[in-house]
Structure 1
Amino acid sequence: MSAAGPPVLREASWRDIPAMLEVERAAFPDEPWDEASLWAELAARPRRGYVVADRPGEPGLVGYAGLDLADDVADVMTIAVHPQARGVGLGARLLDRLHHLARDAGATSIMLEVRSGNTVATRLYTTRGYHLVRTRERYYRSGEDALVLRKELDT
């Protein structure tokens, strides 16, 4: 992946699923979502909102993110950034876009779960105003705990 130009964020489409799957497998090699899961997520629209990050004129995607838009509390379903595209603020851009989608859908707060050992993601979330609600012990197949985080959205 080249460093040419910043990625463009746009709404995900069915055609993006193969590239989303590539990002998923690269970002989460131990427990990636499968193709059926991605299809199910996009099929759940309009309750689900998904965005992808790509570089126009280049093949593939560099990241994507998804949100469940139920009632006044939205849930981040996933944020995936290709390892070769990390460290330049793409995860923050994707998270900020999810915040906008949640506000536009009428949510007043947003929640997510993150692996307890994922310090990079946890740091991103805390700098964006998330706070710990509780810990789900041994939540992941690997036995790792999940931190449940919440943020109140500005109106």
Structure 2
Amino acid sequence: MSETACQGGRAARLAALHAAATDSPWTEADFADLLNTPGLLLLEEDAAFLAARTAADEAEILMLATHPSARRRGRARALLHRFHAEARTLGAARAFLEVAADNHPAAALYAAQGYREIGRRRAYYRRPAGPAVDAICLARGL
């Protein structure tokens, strides 16, 4: 099987998981593009994944998704621990991410892992139904 076909299968699998995990899912084409991102760090656990990118001494979590049937079982926490270790190995000294202000479970997970608010992006997340939601910008040292 060609690398392109393997990437296509991976993009489809990630898109399906993301669609189950969020109300604003990325498409398979979005994930195909993501898989070509320079510095991409993609970590997968059963029914969960974390996508991040690294550049110089910074690492940014682009998304963390867990299938609803697999939540509250430590998968996201395990992915964060792996991400922190791998980002340090790649030379990152600090990690960043954004979380929707109304995503309280995710915000609590990140706070428990040492992330602190460093800013906000007003009305950043557009919702299919309802008002836009702020993005809370978080960071922590590695």
TM-score, length basis structure 1 = 0.81
What's the counterpart of residue 25 of structure 1? 19
Q: Which amino acid is 1:17 matched to?
A: A
| Runs of 5+ unmatched residues, structure 1 | 1-12, 55-61
| Runs of 5+ unmatched residues, structure 2 | 1-5
Query: Equivalences for 1:85-124 in 2 at 5 Å?
Result: 85-124=70-109
Any conservation in 2 of the 1:66–1:98 contact (CA below 8 Å)? no
The alignment partner of 1:31 has SS state of coil
Q: Which amino acid is 2:139 matched to?
A: R
Shift of 1:16: 2.2
What's the counterpart of residue 41 of structure 2? 49
What's the counterpart of residue 35 of structure 1? 28
Structure with the higher fraction of residues in helix conformation: 2
What's the counterpart of residue 68 of structure 2? 83
The alignment partner of 1:79 has SS state of strand
Shift of 1:52: 1.5
How many residue pairs get aligned? The number is 132
Shift of 1:113: 0.1
Q: Which amino acid is 1:138 matched to?
A: A
TM-score, length basis structure 2 = 0.88
Identity %: 33
Q: CA RMSD in A?
A: 1.2
